[in-house]
């Protein structure tokens, strides 16, 4: 017989909730049907037609503030031609469940659901309200999902803790032991549009004021600049914990000097690993460039867009000022289309200790450490309200499979779903003191 977690995920992955357009109401119907059968009351929300979210609660004794199990229903697009199976077939092959959203984050959505159902099925009385919350629109910024819910129905989402995506376990990074990352923070996002204009002209007679050339020259000045490594308190702690498995970090553990850590990371080639660099630096990525419409015409405008990700403690405005200085061209108009600080939750809470401990109990020898998510998630909206959020997902994946998030052949193993359910249920039971 198929395990319930595997069966549910396979069915959930068949539901196409590609955002845009989202159609998250289909996911809401999937959960509503389960809650109906289990005799659990729920409430649905619709930010705009088709953009549904759903919330169910198991009331607790009120000893502690509520815990929300948060997950998003929408997924990013998938091109079926590129995949080894139909990305919306929920196919199970060679021990893996394939489908868009298997890792991000329908797999975790099912773990959260099963942990929630377990409390209900066993008739347990948690020490706090336990809230299951599946939302729309995370992949496009949350305006039709969590942002709408918190703006319009904020009183229904009061909590002392939110468990969300952003955590994962890596099986093949440390020698002889698993590494679980529990996301306590995520980087800020700043998006800049750069616009340069100049006189048009004929391609046969360059006049030296070509808008596209001016923009490209300024961009190369900017991109030639190295972003420095910044050792934030979170990263300092992260590497101290890792020293148990990576002995080459010991000189840093002994003297605690950021310069020592930077030296070690440089010598070991760590800064060449994009994921590692993203944890240690503010990053700038030039992702869009528009100009010109004919090869023999000098264009009179050129535009570029930059995706900038900021470490905790960094002020977006200061970074924009640095970027303007590096561009060194006052005729470039710089417009921020989005700008947010990094968000962070304390590592000193009892709930955080519980989460780490349960990971270690189920995976003896494993390290469970606070980590920084490079991307953005819905956690930032709760953190802005002062509610602690942790990215927690007790699944052990390889770096190769992690690269399939938003990519081709996204998949999760059956074993991860089965074992992950056990661990996740245990985490929720301990957080609820039952
Ligand atoms: Zn996600």
Residues 30 and 146 in one domain: yes
Interval 219-240 mean pLDDT: 96
- Residue 1, pLDDT > 70, answer no
Residues 229 and 300 in one domain: yes
Checking DSSP bridges between strand 177-186 and strand 343-344, what pairing results, if any? antiparallel
Residue 84 has a CB neighbour count (10 Å cut-off) of 11
Residues 135 and 237 in one domain: no
CA of 402 to the centre of ligand 1 (A): 12
Residues 162 and 190 in one domain: no
Last residue in a domain, options 322, 339, 356: 339
**Per-residue pLDDT reduced to its tens digit, 305-348:** 999 999 999 999 999 999 999 999 999 999 999 899 999 999 99
Residues 117 and 231 in one domain: no
- Residue 228, pLDDT > 70, answer yes
- Residue 2, pLDDT > 80, answer no
Residue 98: strand pairing partners: 411
Interval 364-383 mean pLDDT: 96
Domain with 234 in it: 186-339
Helix (H, G, I), strand (E, B) or coil at 286: strand
In 3D space, the residue among 425, 236, 369, 234 whose CA is nearest the CA of residue 312 turns out to be 234
CA of 416 to the centre of ligand 1 (A): 18
Residues 231 and 133 in one domain: no
CA of 322 to the centre of ligand 1 (A): 31
- Residue 386, pLDDT > 80, answer yes
Residue 360 placed within a domain:
no
Residues 327 and 191 in one domain: yes
pLDDT at 414: 98
CA of 142 to the centre of ligand 1 (A): 11
pLDDT at 37: 98
**Per-residue pLDDT reduced to its tens digit, 141-194:** 999 999 999 999 999 999 999 999 999 999 888 988 999 999 999 999 999 999
CATH number for the domain including 251? 3.30.70.360
CA of 76 to the centre of ligand 1 (A): 9
CA of 405 to the centre of ligand 1 (A): 9
Residue 396: strand pairing partners: 169
Residues 46 and 146 in one domain: yes
CA of 39 to the centre of ligand 1 (A): 29
Q: What are phi and psi of 140, to 5 degrees?
A: -115, 20
**Per-residue pLDDT reduced to its tens digit, 239-276:** 999 999 999 999 999 999 999 999 999 999 999 999 89
Interval 419-427 mean pLDDT: 98
Average confidence score pLDDT of the chain: 97
Give how far the C-alpha of residue 373 lies from the chain's centroid of Cα atoms, to the nearest Å: 6
Provide the pLDDT confidence category of residue 202 given band limits of 50, 70 and 90. Answer: very high
CA of 71 to the centre of ligand 1 (A): 8
- Transcribe 186-239 into DSSP letters: E-EEEEEEEEEE---EETTS--S--HHHHHHHHHHHHHTSPPPP---HHHHHHH
pLDDT at 16: 98
Residue 356 placed within a domain:
no
CA of 138 to the centre of ligand 1 (A): 7
Residue 197: strand pairing partners: 301
Residue 348 placed within a domain:
no
In 3D space, the residue among 56, 26, 51, 52 whose CA is nearest the CA of residue 38 turns out to be 56
CA of 276 to the centre of ligand 1 (A): 20
Residue 200 CB partners (closer than 8 Å, separation 6+): 297, 298, 299, 300
Residue 179 placed within a domain:
no
Residue 410 placed within a domain:
yes
The domain total for the chain is 2
Residue 347 placed within a domain:
no
pTM of the model: 0.93
CATH number for the domain including 27? 3.40.630.10
Residue 14 placed within a domain:
yes
Residues 268 and 312 in one domain: yes
300: exposed, middle or buried (Cβ count in 10 Å: 0-12, 13-18, 19+): middle
Residues 9 and 39 in one domain: yes
Residue 332 placed within a domain:
yes
Residues 222 and 286 in one domain: yes
Interval 368-388 mean pLDDT: 96
CA of 72 to the centre of ligand 1 (A): 7
Is residue 46 within 8 Å of residue 52, measured between CB atoms? yes
Q: Rounded CA gap, 102 and 110, in Å?
A: 10
Q: What percent of the chain has pLDDT over 90?
A: 96
- Transcribe 17-29 into DSSP letters: -BTTT--THHHHH
CA of 82 to the centre of ligand 1 (A): 21
Residues 191 and 77 in one domain: no
CA of 28 to the centre of ligand 1 (A): 17
Q: Rounded CA gap, 289 and 381, in Å?
A: 31
């Amino acid at each position: 017989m198929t395990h319930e977690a595997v069966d549910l995920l396979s069915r959930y992955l068949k539901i196409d909730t590609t955002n845009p357009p989202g159609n998250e109401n289909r996911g809401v119907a999937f959960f509503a049907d389960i809650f109906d059968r289990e005799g659990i009351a729920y409430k649905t929300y619709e930010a705009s037609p088709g953009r549904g979210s759903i919330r169910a609660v198991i009331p607790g004794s009120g000893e502690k503030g509520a815990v929300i199990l948060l997950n998003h229903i929408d997924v990013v697009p998938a091109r079926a031609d590129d995949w080894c199976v139909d990305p919306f077939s929920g196919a199970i092959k060679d021990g893996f469940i394939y489908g868009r959203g298997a890792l991000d984050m329908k797999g975790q959505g099912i773990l959260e659901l099963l942990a929630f159902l377990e409390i209900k099925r066993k008739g347990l009385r948690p020490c706090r309200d336990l809230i299951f919350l599946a939302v729309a629109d995370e992949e496009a910024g949350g305006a039709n999902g969590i942002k709408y819910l918190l703006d319009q129905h904020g009183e229904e989402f009061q909590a002392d803790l939110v468990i969300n995506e952003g955590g994962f376990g890596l099986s093949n990074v440390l020698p002889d032991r698993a590494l679980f990352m529990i996301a306590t923070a995520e980087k800020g996002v700043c998006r800049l549009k750069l616009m340069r204009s100049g006189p048009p002209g004929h391609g046969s007679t360059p006049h030296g004021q070509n808008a596209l050339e001016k923009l490209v020259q300024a961009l190369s000045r900017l991109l030639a600049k190295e972003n420095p490594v910044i050792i934030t308190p979170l990263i300092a702690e992260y590497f101290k914990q890792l020293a148990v498995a990576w002995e080459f970090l010991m000189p840093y553990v002994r003297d605690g000097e950021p310069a020592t850590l930077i030296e070690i990371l440089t010598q070991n080639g760590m800064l060449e690993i994009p994921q590692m660099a993203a944890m240690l630096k503010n990053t700038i990525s030039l992702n869009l460039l528009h100009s010109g419409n004919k090869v023999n015409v000098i264009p009179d405008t050129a535009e570029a867009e930059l995706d900038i990700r900021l470490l905790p403690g960094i002020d977006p405005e200061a970074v924009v000022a640095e970027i303007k200085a590096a561009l060194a061209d006052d005729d470039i108009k710089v417009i921020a289309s989005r700008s947010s600080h990094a968000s962070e939750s304390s590592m000193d809470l009892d709930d955080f200790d519980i989460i780490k401990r349960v990971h270690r109990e189920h995976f003896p020898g494993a390290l469970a450490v606070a980590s920084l998510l490079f991307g953005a998630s819905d956690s930032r909206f709760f953190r802005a309200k002062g509610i602690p959020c942790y990215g927690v997902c007790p699944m052990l994946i390889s770096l190769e499979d992690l690269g399939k998030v938003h990519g081709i052949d996204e998949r999760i193993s059956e074993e991860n779903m089965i074992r992950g359910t056990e661990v996740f249920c245990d985490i929720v039971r301990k957080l609820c003191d039952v």
